[in-house]
Structure 1
Amino acid sequence: MDQRVSFITLVVTDMDATRRFYVDGLGWEPELHEPGEVLMFRVAEKVVLSLWAEAFFVEEVGQRPARGGVPPITLAHNVATPQGVDTVLEQAAAAGAKEVSEAVRRDWGGYTGYFADPDGFRWEVAHNPGEIGQSVLP
């Protein structure tokens, strides 16, 4: 098996709220949108973020997703500068992000903060000055 990820799929409870947040609020352009079912964004050359309505997840997978508390996953959006972190966090707050936390300097040398989307998925916004952090920038 090749070492790669092609799709990251998150199950959402309110597709309309999800679309408003990502498309209207953050300004993302959908690669595919099936109203009420799925919303997909190309987030890298060969990686798609898929936001899938819960009913369709249950139909295909056969079980309801676990709910309650913070989902045990984070997504990260790396930027080139600490100022870029603050700018993205401000954009997320303006888009209606839940629980935006101020960015702070981290022990490992980076500068990061978090916001939550309408379903509580945490996005880390990070300036990572290390080699691996720089390697993921466009």
Structure 2
Amino acid sequence: MEQRISLITLAVRDLSVSRRFYLEGLGWTSELDVPGEVLMIRAGEHLVLGLWDRAAFEAEVGAVKQGEGVPPVTLAHNVAAPDEVDRILERARELAAGPVDGPVRRDWGGYSGYFADPDGYRWEIAVNPGPIGQLVLPGDRSS
């Protein structure tokens, strides 16, 4: 696994409030804006900040930590092919990272799975076939 982060995703209680703060307040520009669901903002050359409606976040990742549960943030490592997802998740299993979930084909068209680091932070290993997925991969992916 390369040493990099592709996306930082934050679960938010009110996406419209977060949208106003980041886009209008800070003057940032969105790369993808799906009202009521997700807002993605380019945060670096190969880094995207995702603000995700908390209910949708919990439906895919798990209950937001309020005492017990998953911390309300995921770190993503995007790759170009499903076999890379499989290989990295298998390596996580070998390292006894836990839990390791997936990989699965996602409703949004991607292929991903999760593993937890020693503190319970979830890493998503993903192939994202859309424009955001190409944005976060290193190298020239325009061809």
TM-score, length-scaled by structure 2: 0.49
Partner of 1:124: 124
Q: Secondary structure at the match of 1:98?
A: coil
Paired AA for residue 68 in structure 1 = E
Shift in CA distance, 45/131, structure 1 to aligned 2, threshold 3 Å: closer
1:137 and 1:93 mapped to 2: Cα distance?
A: 24
Structure 1 equivalent of residue 88 of structure 2: 88
* CA–CA distance in structure 1, aligned partners of residues 135 and 46 of structure 2: 16
The CA deviation at 1:102 is 1.7
What amino acid maps onto 1:74 in structure 2?
A: T
Secondary structure, in 3 states, of the residue corresponding to 2:102?
coil
Number of equivalenced pairs? 78
Kindly report which structure 2 residues correspond to 1:72-87, keeping only aligned pairs within 5 A, or say none. 72-87=72-87
Give CA deviations for 1:8-44 in whole Å, capped at 9, x if unaligned: 8xxxxxxxxxxxxxxxxxxxxxxxxxxxxxxxxxxx8
Secondary structure of the structure 2 residue equivalent to 1:102: strand
Unpaired segments ≥5 residues, structure 1 = 1-7, 9-43, 48-65
Q: How does 1:17-36 map to 2 (within 5 A)?
A: none
User: How many Å apart are 1:112 and its aligned residue?
Assistant: 0.6
Q: Let me know the Cα RMSD of the aligned residues.
A: 2.2
1:1-138 alignment, distance < 5 Å? 67-138=67-138
Moved over 3 A (4+): 44-47
Sort the Cα spacing of 1:104 and 1:46 in 2 relative to 1 into closer, same or farther, 3 A. Answer: closer
CA–CA distance in structure 2, aligned partners of residues 84 and 75 of structure 1: 17
Per-residue deviation, 1:97: 0.4
1:70 is displaced (CA, Å) by 1.0
SS of the residue 1:88 aligns to = helix
Q: Radius of gyration: which is bigger?
A: 1
Distance 1:91 1:69, change over 3 A: same
User: Take 2:77 and 2:84, find their aligned partners in 1: how far apart are those partners?
Assistant: 10
Percent sequence identity over aligned pairs: 64
Q: Which runs of 5+ in 2 are unaligned?
A: 1-7, 9-43, 48-65, 139-143
Name the TM-score, length of structure 1 as normaliser: 0.51
Q: CA 1:80 to 1:120, structure 2 compared with 1: closer, same or farther past 3 Å?
A: same
